[in-house]
Amino acid sequence: MHSPQQDRLDRLRQALRHRKIDALLVSQPDNRRYLSGYTAPDHGIQETAGFLLIPASGKPVLLTDSRFTLQAEAEAPLFEVVTYTRGLLKSLDKLCRKRDLKILAFESEYFLHASYLRLEKMAARLGLELRAESDLVERMRAVKDAHELELLRQSTALNEKVFQSVYQTIEPGMSEREIALALELTMREMGAEGPSFDTIVAFGTNAARPHAVPTDRILRAGDLVLIDMGLILDGYCSDMTRTFVVGKPDQTFIERHRAVRKAMLAGIQAIRAGVTGVEVDRAARQVLADAGYGEAFGHGLGHGVGVAVHEEPRLSPRGTKQLRAGMVVTVEPGLYLADWGGIRLENMILVTEEGAEVLNRDTTSLDL
Ligand code: ZN
Ligand code: ZN
């Protein structure tokens, strides 16, 4: 049986041949993991855990340094693992000559300018043509296969389990940081690799910042609480937001919460293969505008989720690409008012030919 990596490599090679590219140098860590199975992350763009060289034909190569050689060999059996001791370029130079490569593509969205200048020098020496590519692998990643969908379902289910176990314990007197820490600790205890992004816990006016960082603010009865959290399970991310009140919600909260929920449902209803991200975004945005909160919803409606928590496609006024069956996206409308607070609701949705399937089961606060 083919491994998922084998299928992905086959598809990528086809795309390379179609574009008359001899090989693609992969430096983006999510793309690297997606294509090879090698899980080591980068600790910053200047601290890479390695590169892939995917030729249009012939065995693919994983280049890394000695810290990662054993891990690379164990996790990426389809690859020849080359350990470099004096940086990438010496080994790459050798490989390009050995494989007689004439046209080498690199990922222009994830390649430092300084590294590019060195690559350019090497290319000039070898008579190699460089090709800047931007989303060859990202485009493949956007549509999930059955195996990936199963992993995304499991990731989502575990994320909800973690949320519920901490949600039950939330009470006045706890701080934002305390709840965020409990969530991230529980994720790891329950088997996740870790959070898929820094957990957001915001009380009251702090929730007016869509990307709030948890503080020492103490929860009081009647405060609204916004929690945006996700985890990584077997390489696949989840992402969910709930906003609720500890104690009894007032009429203002209920009215605003209903507007956001209605926008969420409108967004989900607009989803099916063939529509663009712009159209889905507009459907939800219109609901909030009609309720008088057009100005209060500044960010895009959603994003793809997979090996990265933010990936293609985008559901936003700039998301002109058509959705395809098998894409998994978030729908996360919100409203943010500086002197009051914020509400955001977020679910993960599978795009199908006929419409949409919500991957979340958790209904906390959604039935207000
Ligand atoms: Zn989120
Ligand atoms: Zn999100």
Listed residues 95, 122, 140: the one ending a domain: 140
Distance 317 CA to ligand 2 centre (A): 16
Residue range(s) defining the domain that contains residue 157: 143-358
Specify whether 307 is located in the same domain as 167.
Answer: yes
Distance 81 CA to ligand 2 centre (A): 35
Specify whether 121 is located in the same domain as 8.
Answer: yes
Distance 227 CA to ligand 1 centre (A): 8
CA quadruple 92, 93, 94, 95: dihedral sign: positive
What pLDDT score does 120 carry? 96
Specify whether 125 is located in the same domain as 151.
Answer: no
Ligand nearest to the CA of 228: 1
- CA nearest 181: which of 196, 166, 164? 166
Specify whether 89 is located in the same domain as 168.
Answer: no
Distance 241 CA to ligand 1 centre (A): 5
Confidence band of 1 (pLDDT split at 50, 70, 90) = low
SS3 228: strand
Distance 40 CA to ligand 1 centre (A): 24
**Burial track 297-333 (b if 16+ CB lie within 10 A, e otherwise):** beebbbbbbbbbbebbbbbbeebeeebeebbbbbbbb
Distance 186 CA to ligand 2 centre (A): 20
Ligand nearest to the CA of 303: 2
What is the rounded (10 degree) CA torsion for 93, 44, 163, 145?
-20
Asked if residue 364 is part of any domain, the answer here is: no
Listed residues 140, 160, 185: the one ending a domain: 140
CATH code where residue 310 lies: 3.90.230.10
Asked if residue 59 is part of any domain, the answer here is: yes
Distance 230 CA to ligand 1 centre (A): 7
What pLDDT score does 90 carry? 93
Distance 343 CA to ligand 2 centre (A): 14
Per-residue pLDDT reduced to its tens digit, 284-333 = 999 999 999 999 999 999 999 999 999 999 999 999 999 999 999 999 99
Specify whether 125 is located in the same domain as 150.
Answer: no
What pLDDT score does 3 carry? 86
Q: Is 111 exposed, middle or buried (0-12, 13-18, 19+ CB in 10 A)?
A: middle
Specify whether 222 is located in the same domain as 353.
Answer: yes
Strand order across the 194-195 sheet: 194-195, 231-233, 236-237
Specify whether 219 is located in the same domain as 75.
Answer: no
User: Which residue has better confidence, 366 or 311?
Assistant: 311
Confidence band of 368 (pLDDT split at 50, 70, 90) = low
Listed residues 84, 119, 140: the one ending a domain: 140
Distance CA 194, CA 26 (A): 24
What is the rounded (10 degree) CA torsion for 134, 140, 142, 146?
-170
Distance CA 345, CA 353 (A): 25
- CA nearest 175: which of 227, 124, 219? 219
What is the rounded (10 degree) CA torsion for 30, 182, 253, 218?
-130
Asked if residue 368 is part of any domain, the answer here is: no
Specify whether 316 is located in the same domain as 348.
Answer: yes
Q: How far is CA 77 from CA 81, 189, 245, 248, in A?
A: 9, 29, 50, 56
Distance 59 CA to ligand 1 centre (A): 38
- What single-letter DSSP state applies at residue 65? -
Specify whether 104 is located in the same domain as 247.
Answer: no
What pLDDT score does 294 carry? 94
Specify whether 11 is located in the same domain as 62.
Answer: yes
pLDDT at 251 over 90: yes
Distance 137 CA to ligand 2 centre (A): 21
Distance 272 CA to ligand 1 centre (A): 21
CATH code where residue 125 lies: 3.40.350.10
Per the structure, the count of domains in the chain is: 2
Asked if residue 122 is part of any domain, the answer here is: yes
Q: Which two tokens stand for residue 189?
A: 């205890």
Distance 338 CA to ligand 1 centre (A): 20
- CA nearest 88: which of 100, 104, 74, 71? 104
Per-residue pLDDT reduced to its tens digit, 126-139 = 999 999 999 999 99
Which uninterrupted H or E stretch holds 175? none
Distance 149 CA to ligand 2 centre (A): 17
Q: Find the largest Cα–Cα distance for the chain.
A: 71
Asked if residue 110 is part of any domain, the answer here is: yes
Per-residue pLDDT reduced to its tens digit, 46-101 = 899 999 999 999 999 999 999 999 999 999 999 999 999 988 999 999 999 999 99
Distance 78 CA to ligand 1 centre (A): 34
Helices marked H in 67-112? 69-75, 88-98
Per-residue pLDDT reduced to its tens digit, 149-205 = 999 999 999 999 999 999 999 999 999 999 999 999 999 999 999 999 999 999 999
Asked if residue 177 is part of any domain, the answer here is: yes
